[in-house]
Amino acid sequence: MKKFTKLGAVSALSLIVGASAAFAENIKIGFIDPLSGPFASTGTNGLHQYEFAVDYMVNDKGGVLDGKNFEVIGFDNKTSPKESLIQLQVAIDQGVRYIVQGNSSGVAAAITEAIDKHNRRNPDSRVLFLNYAAVDPSLTNEKCNFWHFRFDANADIKMDALTDVIARDEGIKKVYIIGQDYSFGKSVAEAAVEMLGEKRPDIEVVGNELHPIGKVKDFTPYSRKVISSGADAVITGNWGADMLGIGKSVIENGFEGPIYTYYAAGSGMTAAFGESGKGRIRLIAQGSINPIASEEARDLYNAFLEKYPEGNIDQSRIFNSIGMLARAIEEAGTADDVVAVASKLEGMEYETMWGGTMYMRPQDHQVIQDMYVGVHTDEDVEFDFDSSGFGIVTESVVEMASKDIATTCEMKRP
């Protein structure tokens, strides 16, 4: 016989109110990125890393402000700026005050502009935008605003580090640049041409091409141009399916030189490249996974793999953003007053478990940090990607990359 316990009206109401109050105590973080479509794997992997980061780094350690937990809520933007603005409003209506996004600088530009307008019109429900991967330099230059913080190096900073490495390779005489046809892809191309010209004027740019983002099914025509150009190296800022598409096609069509990339790891790409990418795919990133930079990072990564055996930590900046946000909220003594939290993020120095010190530059809210250039390989790999046996092994480090890089940001503070 089943037994039932009958609750009095007051007791039942108390439980409901108590549960609602506990839920209300959560500090909501809205994750707005692709969870469907051609870039779904990239977005889903990022969401998993954010969910794990808030639990492992914050909630399981007692939360912030004497017990408040972080709660990550995923919103599928389908990589569309228009859909992102719809999801942003939904998130704000649900009480979200912290937005995280990273896939597509075009989306980031739409979000940061919308948040700026919202915050001016709605001072009682202001929102902060924590950008973990959208790296168009304009976001911390002419499009900067007080509500936007970037935890990734921008495209110019990354290219500065990459071209330092390329310039040291005397065997590289010709370079082919290819990227996605939107603001970020154009920024990568412009920076590559300018910086190679300054550091190695003898290097010839034999191709500089953009292709539609997320729409090319067969990259063979592009890769044949790369081969016929006689290029010694390729530079691309492609990400997601476009990165895998161009990389695989170039290699399969016979290109044997290095391919310098921004996002050619994890989300299935490492497994797909496999042996073909060994010693050829090179990646600019923040933090070192192989070798792991600290015991703290090793413990976290192993705990992540227990929860997601097939997963990857390929965006350590996600964990940095959560660590810095938690610290800013604690120092501000509030999560509701995002102006106070933003003021604590400005100028913050943060020792990251992934290696080095991060500095959130007050004048433009661009984080400055060490940059790592690694190679796709199966040798000396402690933490592989995609359970493939292959990972990214650090070859060189650029300390506090572009620390004094100029900015045109004219920050207006509330």
Q: Give yes or no for a contact between 90 and 48, defined as CB atoms under 8 angstroms apart.
A: no
Q: What is the pLDDT of residues 89-136, one digit of tens each?
A: 999 999 999 999 999 899 999 999 999 999 999 999 999 999 999 999
Residue from 210, 197, 182, 221 nearest 80 by CA: 182
Residue from 42, 59, 62 nearest 51 by CA: 59
The SS3 of residue 135 is coil
Pairing of strands 148-150, 128-131: parallel
For 163, the enclosing helix (H) or strand (E) is helix 155-167
Residue from 345, 372, 348 nearest 358 by CA: 348
Residue from 105, 108, 191, 184 nearest 156 by CA: 191
Q: Is the pLDDT of residue 403 over 80?
A: yes
- What integer pLDDT is reported at residue 17 of this predicted model? 40
- Cα–Cα distances in angstroms (integers) from residue 86 to residues 69, 89, 93, 123, in the given order: 26, 5, 11, 20
Place 189 in a pLDDT band, splitting at 50, 70 and 90. Answer: very high
Q: Is the pLDDT of residue 13 over 90?
A: no
- What integer pLDDT is reported at residue 22 of this predicted model? 43
Q: How far is CA 395 from the centre of its chain?
A: 21
- What integer pLDDT is reported at residue 183 of this predicted model? 87
* Backbone phi, psi, residue 102, to 5°: -155, -25
Q: Is the pLDDT of residue 287 over 60?
A: yes
- What integer pLDDT is reported at residue 11 of this predicted model? 41
Place 148 in a pLDDT band, splitting at 50, 70 and 90. Answer: very high
Q: Give yes or no for a contact between 69 and 94, defined as CB atoms under 8 angstroms apart.
A: no
- Cα–Cα distances in angstroms (integers) from residue 25 to residues 127, 292, 321, in the given order: 17, 35, 21
- Range of lowest pLDDT (15-19, 117-121, 204-208, 257-261): 15-19
Rounded-to-integer distance, Cα 76 and Cα 57, Å: 25
* Backbone phi, psi, residue 184, to 5°: -65, -45
Q: How far is CA 60 from the centre of its chain?
A: 24
- What integer pLDDT is reported at residue 335 of this predicted model? 98
Q: Give yes or no for a contact between 392 and 265, defined as CB atoms under 8 angstroms apart.
A: yes
Q: Is the pLDDT of residue 291 over 80?
A: yes
Q: What is the pLDDT of residues 21-63, one digit of tens each?
A: 444 489 999 999 999 998 898 899 999 999 999 999 999 999 9
